[in-house]
Amino acid sequence: MKLKIGIIACMAAALWSTAVYAAEDVKLKEGETLFRKHCVVCHPNGGNVINAGKTLKRADLTARGIKAPADIVKKMRAPGPGMTQFDSAKVPDKEALAIAEYVLAAFH
């Protein structure tokens, strides 16, 4: 009986884990699609065609104090010189967050 309960528990954990990863994959795919729509022209492969020193690579972001998705969204809303501003009318908060999460996951 304990073996059956253990097997069922393992199967449930595996299914839950698969569902969580599938949901994350969908969210990252959405972020990738939005990134390609709004950002890839200036940031191909996580680079930066306007300012080569300000890439989307994690080390460059961290050096500029950008560590979390909210930091990226903040930069999208109020960028520095050379970057297009993406206000909430152009890129709603949910989409901006999806882009930010994709950037942090994709460009190490």
- What are the counts of helices (DSSP H) followed by strands (DSSP E) for the chain? 4, 0
pLDDT of res. 20 = 46
Distance CA 69, CA 97 (A): 6
Superfamily for the 29-106 domain: Cytochrome c-like domain (1.10.760.10)
pLDDT digit string (tens) for the chain, length 108 residues? 666 665 665 555 555 545 544 667 888 999 999 999 999 999 999 999 999 999 999 999 999 999 999 999 999 999 999 999 999 999 999 999 999 999 999 998
Amino acid at 107: F
Domain boundaries, the chain: 29-106
pTM: 0.78
Distance CA 73, CA 86 (A): 9
